[in-house]
Structure 1
């Protein structure tokens, strides 16, 4: 068995959990490969460097069985970008803070790794959103697990995003920006802007304006079989577009559209964890300070 590791935060609090994972896999005679970023951060944090093969991206030629993401949700989003169309199953171990996506807690690392090796898990296949554009941006990672967003630059005034669904005019959003979220991303940036929570396998996208000028404009749910395209106007000719944590500056002449990606992100889950438990715990549902 061959397992890839990725992570980018190696502070004193996290280091013991990183070492626990490596020690466990080595005792099980698992072949380990590590990302370039993982290698650099590990060598900075530990006195003894790792002597493992280093990879830039997960490819079929690497012949990896699983990828373990060590960090928070941001690290898992990076891991999804590294895996891409290889669709290698990803185990997210939460050594960060929130843990909506990296749901395996620190105190269950040993049990989760044992279940992984014994193949005692389920695959949670998540939709990705794909950007199509005529601009030379985002290279090989024109996809996202959470959302695509069009945003004004820091110093500019409100922008207008003319939006079309399957070629039909939908609306012109006068706002600071517009988010197109996957069901997975509905608990992220979209939620903070008033968007709804959508269950992971709902087969749709959520369009959520960012600080809309018209208060009667509300988030909209559309089928993920749709192609959503945009034309952008504003006082400035420059705008930001983002795919999860990646962002690029573009001008108003760039053609932009999004649709469902042809491949998926395959997240590893275990029987002791489920999505509704995660919602209640992370959003503090049912928590009443009076009790």
Structure 2
């Protein structure tokens, strides 16, 4: 049987914090998965960073734009952080992504590394569950000029400097004043990001099909300042009123330094990320496993 996905791009972890035995193990996994895909009748390509990192010279490499235009699916090997980075780059092309978990939690990289062959083969042959996740579009405006522009699949976080006290932020939603918040920071999270930083700040879990954002303060000065769920059709403005060395980060992977008066504008991106999961997958199974629900019960 010919696979449904004939042209598959392979993405792996390639950051500099991996070394020694972990580096060799990660390269070996990439090589094993590439050989497996080839045996299934897939044409395998690598993105340039993965090709350089893994040293798999027998496979061609393509730019992200070429992968988006020519490939049928992307296979990401790593943790959720790796998937977030690839998801942001590939969102504009609509390429479906499959995640093999080589990290820890694995909310969006849900195929166990030790079971990838028996799990991946049916997906390649067209047996899978498909879902789309929304993406945040964020801009930093300084004197009406855009000085930074980024996508985020998890969250946009505005927070205080490492050595300063609280930051004061003026928050507006669709041009309407909400509040001046004094806190360590503020999180705007997608449903995907509701299981990340927002959760540790007291935010709710949100099902991925819900059209909304979580706005969650980080250690607020006023304890009545609680997380709130907003429509994902809203545009959120966060202006830095006071506080030294404030910053904004996007999925914890890209960073912008902020000045007093800067505004971070957050809205829904026109792009979405499509994930493919094993047949029978559902969101609650993932939550139950990753959140350790029902453990120790009868």
Q: Same fold (TM over 0.5)?
A: yes
Indicate how the Cα distance of structure 1 residues 199 and 230 shifts in structure 2: closer, same or farther if over 3 A, else same.
Answer: same
* Inter-CA distance 61–177: structure 2 relative to 1 (3 Å threshold): closer
Tell me, what secondary structure is at the counterpart of 1:70? Answer: strand
Shift of 1:272: 3.7
Give the secondary-structure state (helix, strand or coil) at the position aligned to 2:157.
strand
**Which residue number corresponds to residue 46 of structure 1?**
none
Q: CA deviation at 1:12?
A: 4.3
**Runs of 4 or more off by more than 4 Å in structure 1?**
none
Q: 1:235 to 1:118 in 2, by over 3 A?
A: closer
Residue 83 of structure 2: aligned partner = 76
C-alpha contact (below 8 Å) 2:212/2:232 kept by paired residues: yes
Determine which of 2, 7, 18 is the counterpart of 2:30.
Answer: 18
Q: Distance in 1 between matches of 2:60 and 2:147?
A: 31
Residue 273 of structure 1: how far off its partner (Å): 2.5
TM-score (norm 2): 0.88
Displacement of 1:283 after TM fit? 0.8
Contact 1:57–1:83 (8 Å) recurs in 2: yes
Deviations 1:57-111 (A, max 9, x none): 2447741110011000001001102212001000010011110110111233112
1:271-286, aligned counterparts within 5 Å?
271-286=279-294
Q: Is the CA contact (8 Å cut-off) linking 2:120 and 2:278 kept in structure 1?
A: no
Answer yes or no: is the 8 Å Cα contact 1:58–1:84 preserved in 2.
no
* Residue 43 (structure 2) aligned to one of 31, 49, 53: 31
Q: Which residue of 1 aligns with 2:258?
A: 250
CA distance 1:125–1:91, change in 2 (3 Å): same
SS of 1:67's partner is strand
> 2:102 aligned with 1:91, yes or no?
no
1:78-157 equivalences in 2 (<5 Å): 78-133=85-140, 134-138=145-149, 142-157=150-165
Compared CA separation, residues 7 and 60, structure 1 to 2 (3 A) = closer
**Unpaired runs of at least 5, structure 2:** 1-5, 15-21
Deviations 1:202-237 (A, max 9, x none): 10000000111111110000110111112112242x
CA distance in 1, matches of 2:256, 2:218: 18
Checking the alignment, whether the CA contact within 8 Å between 1:135 and 1:254 is kept in structure 2 is: no
| Aligned-pair CA distance for 1:116 | 2.5
Are residue 8 (structure 1) and residue 19 (structure 2) matched?
no
CA contact (8 A) 1:178 1:209 kept: yes
Task: Supply the distance in 1 between the matched residues of 2:137 and 2:157 (Cα, whole angstroms).
Answer: 12
